[in-house]
Amino acid sequence: MKQPDDGRRFTAIYHEHHRQVYAYAVSRAGRDLADDIVSDTFLTAWRRLDAVPPTPLPWLLGVARNVISERYRAEVRQASIAAELRAWAVEAQADVADGVTERAAMLAALARLGEDDRELLTLVAWQGLGTREAARVVGCSTATYFVRLHRARKRLEQALFQAPAARHVSRPLQTQEHSR
């Protein structure tokens, strides 16, 4: 708990050393940050008044130095976080562009396939049917559907890599099969 004399002691320290702490802050961090650094320095002095030595200036400048260092670390940390977020945004934009390119190539390849192959592929990939259900739709056994689907995928892969936009597509076609 602060004593009545603490207020007088703090006021005396503040009036005696404010200009020197301010000059130090300006020389180390510039005028834009100097007022904040001085405020934080004297706030620390008030909170830790019992730790302030009889000759307070070196202690105050040490606190100001620590305040500046902490601000620098915080700014570096914020800059690092901002750079990471910018990198994520660039990746996301690149992913969108890649996705559009891949989709265009896939649609062009699908358009080159026959109606039966398109139906076999889209029942599983777009309609989300399991292989048994898709086999029922096209009127064949599950085993026959698997064979037809395999052949349709091969033809799609050939069509995909023949497309002009497919030069940018690097991963093979992967569709998800659901056995329901």
The CATH number that applies at residue 47 is 1.10.1740.10
> Which structural domain range is residue 68 located in?
4-83
User: Is residue 47, in this structure, part of any structural domain at all?
Assistant: yes
74's tokens: 């915080």
Among 149, 137, 146, 138, CA closest to 173 = 149
Q: Which residues pair with 150 in a beta bridge?
A: none
* 130 bridge partner residues: 178
Tell whether 14 and 74 lie within a shared domain.
yes
pLDDT, one tens digit per residue, over 137-149 is 899 999 999 999 9
> Model confidence over 68-91: pLDDT tens digits?
999 888 888 788 877 876 777 677
- Tell me whether residue 108 is in a domain: no
Q: What is the pLDDT of residues 14-55, one digit of tens each?
A: 999 999 999 999 988 899 999 999 999 999 999 999 999 999
Q: What is the CATH number of the domain that holds 149?
A: 1.10.10.10
Last residue of a domain, one of 67, 83, 99: 83
* Number of domains forming the structure of the chain: 2
